[in-house]
Structures are given as C-alpha cells and as structure tokens.
C-alpha cells in the first residue's frame, strides 16, 4: 500500500495463501477401471471394493463414473501391484466380469478452487466441498464495507504512528486489537537498544505485562490461556521468522501487514528476512497453529 494514497476504496485486502489455491492447473494420475454391465450390482461392487481396496490417497474421487452411457468403476491405482490383490479380490473381479482392466487418467489431488474442480470433473466425477469463506477471500469479497472501514482506520493509525519519525529510518510498527477491534497496544521496534526488540516482540511483552497486572488485581482471571488468543495484529511491514514464531506461540487470529514493497528496514535488519513472501512461513504444515495473513 502507498501510505500517501491510502483510502478505503483503494485499499486492497488479499488473503495470502499458497499459489495452488489460485492456479487452474491440476495434477493427474492413472488408475485401473472396469465397466459394470449390470446396474443392479453397482452398490454391491462399490461396497466390496471400498472395503477391500480403499482409495486412500484418492478419496476425493467418486468410485463410479456414470456420465457416459456405460458405467465405469475404479478398481485401484495403476501402481497398485497385482500381487497385492488378494485371492478373494481376484475371485470377486472374475465372478463379476470386471476383467480385464482399463487405464484412465484422473485428478491426483482434491481441487482447491472452482476452476480446478471444473477441470477435474472433465476427467472423473469428484467429491467436492467448496470452502465458501476461502472463495470469498480469494475474490476479495470476504470483508464488507463496515469491516473495511475498521481495518482502514487501524491501518491508518499504524501508518500515522510510523510516520512520526522524521528521519529516513522508520521503525517497524505493530498494533494489536482484540476480537472486538479494541486497540490493546501500538508500539514500534527498539532494536537500537536490543536487537531482539522487534515491534511484534515489544507488543507481545506489553500485552503480557498488562495481563500479569490484571491477574494480580483479580484472582478469578484464568492464567492458562495463550497471550494473544484471537487477537489481530496490524504491522507497517512484513514480519521476520522470529516474529512469526512469536505470533504462532501467542495464538493470534489474523495478521495484517502493509505490502512488503513498502516495508522499512533499518540498519539492524528489523524484520528484513520476509518470512512470508520469501520463505512462505505460513505454509509450513508442521506448525501447531496457523493464522490468517492479509
């Protein structure tokens, strides 16, 4: 975002997700299929195959393809070795006239968006359950006008606080709100005094001090919750890996940051490693918590 031209209408809010959610490309894999000549046997055959040869990695595929005049059933993946087919399965296939096999190309993965779904259906019927929230995020319609105004006001506060610096070196700024959009703290980095004092760390420390003081005043406040559970963080630039890990451990809900092209890094490398746009930190599957990044 350009701070000088930022308006509610011009503000672009984009959920940062893996490119696979935007791509229309689909990967394919080969499977072995057979034709069912007797329609009355469809349920019987499907139930048997689902029990004996489940499509574990291809569960997004429907077992039956009845789009054409003939009825086709997936037996197994092509790389499924014949030796793995038990005597019971082989007997069943022969008894129900499911030999020989045909080879078909089918979608390898569950579709991530509507375009992938439509292309996948051209190859084989799919079990598709669209994520309506994600679709709204991808087409930038997830935020209504009221939400956009609230976000705009908070982003504007971040920019205003950042631009209080008169020199060329502008510190990173972090603003934190609770789930009701109440501002809990706004602070800047202090890496000149301590290289670990990035704005995210300063903000989390501030919230920790406030919660500690509140618990000392009121014994009924539980102390076993995460520091920033359900909170939103607004930043003047893209966070670094250290800050992202701190956000994971604090269990935040959402992170808003101004386009990384506008990020300001000082000489002490305050959040300069671009954890999201360069390292794709948010796509790491082994993280025990994920938060939305806008």
Per-residue model confidence as pLDDT tens digits over 236-255 = 988 999 999 999 999 999 99
Rounded CA separation 238/259 (Å):
7
Interval 108-127 mean pLDDT:
93
64-65/71-77 β-pairing: antiparallel
Per-residue model confidence as pLDDT tens digits over 42-79 = 999 999 999 999 998 999 999 999 976 789 999 999 88
**CA pseudo-torsion sign 116, 118, 121, 126:** positive
Q: What does the domain layout of the chain look like in residue ranges?
A: 20-132, 143-293
Decide which of 104 and 266 is more confident.
Answer: 104
pLDDT of residue 81: 65
The CA distances from residue 274 to 18, 238, 244, 246, in Å, are 16, 6, 10, 15
Decide which of 6 and 62 is more confident.
Answer: 62
Interval 76-96 mean pLDDT:
84
Q: Regarding the domain with residue range 143-293, which homologous superfamily does it belong to in the CATH classification? A: Cytidine Deaminase, domain 2 (3.40.140.10)
Rounded CA separation 193/202 (Å):
12
Per-residue model confidence as pLDDT tens digits over 166-192 = 455 567 899 999 999 999 999 998 888
In DSSP terms, 71 is beta-bridged to 36
pLDDT of residue 118: 93
Q: State percent of the chain over pLDDT 70.
A: 86
pLDDT of residue 1: 43
Interval 12-18 mean pLDDT:
78
pLDDT of residue 134: 79
Calculate helix-pair angle for 42-52, 87-95, nearest 10 degrees.
170
Interval 263-292 mean pLDDT:
74
pLDDT of residue 5: 55
């Amino acid at each position: 975002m350009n701070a000088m031209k930022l308006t509610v209408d011009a503000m672009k809010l984009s959920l940062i997700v893996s490119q696979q959610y935007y791509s229309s490309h689909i990967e394919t894999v080969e499977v072995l299929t057979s034709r069912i000549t007797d329609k009355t046997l469809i349920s019987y055959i499907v139930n048997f195959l689902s029990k004996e040869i489940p499509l574990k990695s291809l569960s997004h595929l429907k077992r039956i393809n009845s789009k054409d005049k003939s009825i086709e059933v997936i037996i197994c993946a092509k790389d499924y070795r014949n030796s793995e087919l038990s005597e019971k399965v082989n007997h069943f296939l022969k008894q129900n006239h499911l030999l020989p096999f045909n080879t078909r190309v089918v979608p390898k993965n569950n579709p991530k968006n509507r375009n992938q779904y439509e292309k996948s259906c051209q190859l084989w019927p799919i079990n598709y359950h669209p994520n309506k929230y994600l679709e709204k995020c991808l087409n930038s319609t997830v935020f209504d006008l009221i939400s956009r105004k609230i976000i705009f006001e908070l982003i504007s506060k971040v920019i205003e606080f950042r631009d209080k610096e008169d020199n060329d070196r502008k510190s990173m700024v972090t603003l934190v709100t609770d789930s009701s959009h109440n501002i809990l703290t706004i602070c800047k980095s202090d890496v000149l005094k301590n290289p670990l004092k990035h704005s995210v760390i300063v903000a989390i420390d501030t919230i920790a001090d406030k919660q500690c003081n509140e618990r000392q005043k009121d014994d009924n406040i539980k102390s076993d919750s995460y520091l920033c559970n359900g909170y939103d963080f607004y930043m003047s630039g893209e966070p670094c890996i250290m800050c992202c890990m701190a956000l994971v451990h604090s269990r935040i809900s959402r992170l808003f940051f101004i386009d990384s092209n506008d990020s300001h890094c000082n000489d002490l490398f305050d959040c300069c490693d671009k954890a999201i746009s360069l390292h794709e930190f948010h796509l790491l599957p082994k993280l025990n918590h994920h938060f939305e990044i806008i």
